[in-house]
Amino acid sequence: MTGGKTEPIQVTRRGRHPEADDRSEEQAIIVGFDAEWVDASHEDHDLPPDTSNRILSWQLFLLNPNTGRSCGIFVEPKSAHKASRKLLKTLIGQVVSKALKGGVLNRIPSRVILAAHFTRADLSTLRDFTNIKRKVDAVRTTYATTTKPLFVRIPTDQGEAPASVRIVDTMLLSPSHSQLAALGEALGLPKIELPDGFSKERMDLFLAADRDSFITYAMTDAKIAARWTARVLKIVREEMGVRRPCPTLGAVAVEMLRHEIEAAGLNVSAFEGRRRGKKGGKPQPLPNLVGKWNFAAQCYHGGRNEAVSVGYSPEEREIYDLDLTSAYTTALAMIREPNWSTARYTTNIAELATVEAAMTFALVKFRFPPETRIPSLPVRASNLRGLIYPIAGESWCTGPEMVVALAQGASLEAKEGLRIDWIENSPRVFEAFTRKINAVRAAAKEGGDTVLDQTAKEVGNSGYGKVAQGVAGLKTIADDIHPRRIFNSRSERMQDLGESGITQPMMASYTTGLVRAAVSEALAAMGPDEWLGTVTTDGFLTTVPVERVDQTGVVARAFVAARARITPQNPAIWEEKHREQSVSVIKTRGTVSCTPEAQKPILAKAGHKLEGKFATRAEEARAFMDLIRSRDYDTRLRTKGLISLRQQHLNEADLTTVTRNARANLDFDFKRKL
């Protein structure tokens, strides 16, 4: 916890702007931050329910990544009253003072990265939360500084100096839903388990009973946050080539992609079909793409999701859960540099129905042969009911989907169409990005670091997410996909999620179309005797084993070629995720394993959360099956959750728990006809 004794320190008083150091080789100081409290909404009888949590302690762990030295502090409030809470700068000042004394730092740092696991919880324990909350950004239910950092004057016992404080949340720098304990395991710094008889809800009892163990427990959390942040930033810098400190994995992906585009000798704006105006500002679409931009966005849909059967899988047949390997990153990797000057409207199906020759989009009138089991052209339903695949209709679709439909014998008539050719033999910049991600993943897997593997995977998937961010808002004809609304913590208003630095509607629509086409092509090739349970974005549940999935189709061959370029040693495009003896399909994204003693049972709960905790996944699957059998119209699922960020922010509330009663909606959704 301490950095050891050193000679007296020369504290440098700094007068210039703290961000001036941003380009220096010296890395920012990382401070892990954590707080412990007693939840105001606990259900024990000893304390009256209240809206304010009772803060027990703050712990900060300072890590100097330039030297590897570190130190920590454990701070307790003088009383349970809100006025006794500490200011952020006071706490940072205290840990910096200790670091200066201990030789961990030789001067007051000008750049600090404040890392916590779920910053929303920890920042709200501070006295100046009211001031801080409008100076940080709300990102995915938590806080981080994605735009401007916080500027604070750090008070130490050796003087005061200004510093920029970037807030990062380790939840945003790790795979989604990662627990702090998992990060600790990956770091070889296991989170301390609470002794028997104590619970998270009543940490005050633990503090009173065993103060030393409490301090060890609390300090470990702050250490994990600091060390995980340092580790991710190091990997991002050294292996992914991103020098800027990124607050989220999505930001890492954007930086990586920009870097790859530039490394290929291309201009980022030109690659995306944009150019900067004479007066500068945000790059805008090229003049010849006006209108076409929105046309492509109209063909942007999510993945194919539907329940093809309902109820139990056939007896005595094995069920395979198959996935398209790295579906979105592979699809992205097929993109070359577009020749934007060739963007043109056409209704010629021969020009539009293509997989790799160009990016094509169309509004087609279609009809599949009546006996078609799995049609492949999407039609968007109303009321957030997703994509439906009917026998006939009109579809905003992409070239690869048209290719699959024609192969199924469908008759197509293009009412409108758009084609953009590639520049011949131009580089596939996303392929280099995917290859780099795969290299990090391979090294992580080799070292047995599953969390890092998942983190790298998330960066890869975020690449696609960032290309598609805000595309729904570009649609001229509003449909079922609405632009995502987010809470802007700085303006304290709701707003549409805007475009990212690399949003490109044509590439986003083409990528999603490729994945849907690959899945539909494999489904269409299935024999009539094969059972098909559900289709979920980039995979499906079936009686067909992975080695018998058809890969002779045009889209499958394009995927095989892409996989061969990315991972020559393993060009397989389908992989088996689970194998089951029996499953029950409830609805889209609702499947439960009914295999007794399944090691890794399938459990997709259709967006529901079960009450209580389960020792194993198999136990949870059984409980979910019991719910399905016993439910009636009034069945509700009582779940405990956290107060929403918006609610907490606007009410300046502590992070408290709230109980929700959601109706169990587990009826077949009729995406296909019974």
Partner 1 sequence: MNPRDVDGLLTANTTPWQAIEEFEEARDGLEAWKKSTRSVLKTVADYQAMTVWLEGADAHRAAGTKIGNRLGPLTSAVLKIAALGELGMRRVPDAELAAHMTKLCGVAVSTTKVWNARRRGKTAFEMLGTFTKVGEADKAFLARLYRTYPLMLRHVILRLLAPGSEALRQLDKLMIEEDERELERAHREWLDDDDGWFFAEECFITGSKEANSASVGQVTNPGEAKDLDLWSGAASFGSVACAIMDPIGHPTATDRVVSDTAT
How many CB atoms neighbour CB 439 within 10 A? 14
Q: How far is CA 606 from CA 483, 536, 539, 603, in A?
A: 22, 11, 16, 9
- Least separation in angstroms between residue 573's CB and partner 1 is 25
Say how far apart CA 577 and CA 386 lie, in whole Å. Answer: 25
Q: How far is CA 563 from CA 115, 324, 344, 431, 434, in A?
A: 37, 11, 30, 10, 10
Tell me the CA end-to-end span of the chain in Å, nearest whole number. Answer: 64
- Least separation in angstroms between residue 389's CB and partner 1 is 6
- Least separation in angstroms between residue 374's CB and partner 1 is 7
Geometric angle at alpha carbon 401, from 395 and 403, rounded to 5° = 120
- Residue 505, φ and ψ in degrees, nearest 5: -65, -35
- Residue 644, φ and ψ in degrees, nearest 5: -70, 155
Of 597 and 632, nearer to partner 1 (C-beta) is 632
Say how far apart CA 449 and CA 456 lie, in whole Å. Answer: 11
Which two three-digit tokens encode residue 484? 């995502």
Of 390 and 427, nearer to partner 1 (C-beta) is 390
- CA-closest candidate to residue 165, choices 110, 246, 126: 110
Of 159 and 390, nearer to partner 1 (C-beta) is 390
Of 146 and 543, nearer to partner 1 (C-beta) is 543
- Least separation in angstroms between residue 140's CB and partner 1 is 31
- Least separation in angstroms between residue 367's CB and partner 1 is 10
Of 393 and 483, nearer to partner 1 (C-beta) is 393
- Least separation in angstroms between residue 121's CB and partner 1 is 37
Of 5 and 629, nearer to partner 1 (C-beta) is 629
Say how far apart CA 170 and CA 223 lie, in whole Å. Answer: 12
- Least separation in angstroms between residue 670's CB and partner 1 is 5
Of 373 and 608, nearer to partner 1 (C-beta) is 373
> Three-class SS string for 504-563?
CHHHHHHHHHHHHHHHHHHHHCCCCCCCEEEEEECEEEECCCHHHCCCCCHHHHHHHHHH
Of 382 and 491, nearer to partner 1 (C-beta) is 382
- C-beta separation of 154 from 130 below 8 A: no
Say how far apart CA 638 and CA 130 lie, in whole Å. Answer: 32
Of 302 and 393, nearer to partner 1 (C-beta) is 393
Query: Letter for the amino acid at 144?
Result: A
- CA-closest candidate to residue 158, choices 94, 202, 235: 94
- C-beta separation of 596 from 582 below 8 A: no
Say how far apart CA 146 and CA 441 lie, in whole Å. Answer: 26
- Least separation in angstroms between residue 635's CB and partner 1 is 8
Say how far apart CA 615 and CA 621 lie, in whole Å. Answer: 11
- Least separation in angstroms between residue 631's CB and partner 1 is 6
Of 194 and 388, nearer to partner 1 (C-beta) is 388
- C-beta separation of 361 from 396 below 8 A: yes
Q: Which residues bind partner 1 (CB under 8 A)?
A: 307-312, 368, 372-375, 379, 381-382, 385, 388-393, 584, 628-629, 631-635, 666-674
- CA-closest candidate to residue 66, choices 24, 101, 9: 24
H-helix or E-strand spanning residue 58: strand 54-64
Say how far apart CA 246 and CA 244 lie, in whole Å. Answer: 6
- Least separation in angstroms between residue 514's CB and partner 1 is 22
- Least separation in angstroms between residue 315's CB and partner 1 is 9
- Least separation in angstroms between residue 661's CB and partner 1 is 16
Of 294 and 372, nearer to partner 1 (C-beta) is 372
Secondary structure (3-state) at 501: coil
Of 383 and 569, nearer to partner 1 (C-beta) is 383
